[in-house]
Amino acid sequence: MSSLRLTKQQHDHLSLLQRPAGDVVELCKSAFDYLINGPNPSRYETLAKKYSDSGSAEAVQQAVEALISLLISVTTRAGGDCVNMQAILRQTFPDLGDDVLEVLEQFVTSKRNFVEGSIKSANIRAYRLVNLDWRLEVRTASRSLLEQCHVVVTMKLYLHTEPKNENRELLAVDTSGRSEQELKAMQEDERLHRKDLLVQTDVSSLLHMIKTLEDALAESKTRRIRNIVDAIH
Partner 1 sequence: MDEVDKIIMHQLQQVDATIEPTEELAEFTPEQVVRAVSGCLAEIPMAQRFGVASSLAQGCKDSGYRGDIGYQTFLYPNAVELRKLLMFLIEQLPRERQTTEDGASGKMQALSHRQLLQRQIRKELTHQLKTPWVPQFARSVGNRKSLGCSSLGIEFRPHINLSIPSANPEERTKEEQQYFDQLAPNLFQQTASKSVDLIASVLHKNELDRWGQGLPDSTLLFVDSEEPEAPIIAPTQSPSSGEAEVSPFQELSNQVQELRVQCETLLTERKSHAAALAALKLRETKATEEIGRIQPMLKLHERTSLVLADPEENLAKLESLLKSTQSKRQTLTQQWLDYRKPLLDTLEELKTAKEAQEVQGIRNSIENLEQELQAKTKQHNELNATLRSASQSLAPRKEYTRRIHEFIGNIRKQRADIYKVLDDTRQLQKQLNVVGAQLQRQFNYTDDLLFQSAKHDLHAKRAYKLLAQLHANCSELVECVSLTGNVTKQIRELEVQIDGEKLKNVLTSLQQITGDIQKFEQHIQELQGQIRAAEHPKVES
Partner 2 sequence: MATSPGKSPALEAGNTETTGLLSATVVAGLRNLGAIISPPLTKLLIANSLKLTLHPDATIAPVPEIYASNAACAKQSEYAVVTLYALATKHGWDGLHLRQQLEQLGLDAGAVDELSRVYEDSRKELVLRQLQLGHSFPHITDIQWRIVCDVKSSTSDCSTGVANFHINLGNFRPSSGERVTIVEFVCNAEELQSLINRLKEIERHCNQMAVA
Phi (first) and psi of residue 79, to 5 degrees: 55, 35
151 binds partner 1 (CB under 8 A): yes
Beta-strand pair 150-160/194-201:
antiparallel
Please identify, using beta-carbon distances, which residue of 185 and 218 lies nearer to partner 1: 218
Q: Smallest Cα–Cα separation from 105: which of 120, 118, 117, 88?
A: 88
Of 143, 14, 134, the C-alpha closest to 69 is: 14
Q: Which is nearer to partner 2, 184 or 195 (CB)?
A: 195
CB atoms closer than 10 angstroms to residue 11:
13
Residues 81-140 contacting partner 2, CB under 8 A? 119-120, 122-124, 126-129, 132, 134, 136, 139
Of 6 and 152, nearer to partner 1 (C-beta) is 152
Number of residues that bind partner 1 (CB under 8 A): 17
Q: Does 174 bind partner 2 (CB under 8 A)?
A: no
CB of 206 to partner 1, least distance (A): 9
The region, left, alpha or beta by phi > 0 then psi within -120 to 50, assigned to residue 136 is beta
**C-beta of 46 vs 140, nearer to partner 1:** 140
CB 65 within 8 A of CB 34: yes
Q: What angle do CA 227, 73, 13 make, to 5 degrees?
A: 165
140 binds, among partner 1, partner 2, none (CB under 5 to 8 A by kind): partner 1
**Strand ranges in 24-180 using DSSP code E only, listed in sequence order:** 128-139, 150-160
Is residue 108 a contact partner of residue 77, using CB atoms and an 8 Å limit?
Answer: no
Q: Work out which of 82, 145, 173, 183 binds partner 2, going by CB under 8 A.
A: 145
Which of these ranges, 15-23, 141-149, 177-185, 187-195, lies near partner 1 under the rule CB under 8 A?
A: 141-149
Residues that bind partner 2 (CB under 8 A): 76-80, 119-120, 122-124, 126-129, 132, 134, 136, 139, 142-148, 150, 152-154, 157, 159, 164, 197-203, 205-210, 212-214, 216-217, 219-221, 225, 228-230, 232-233
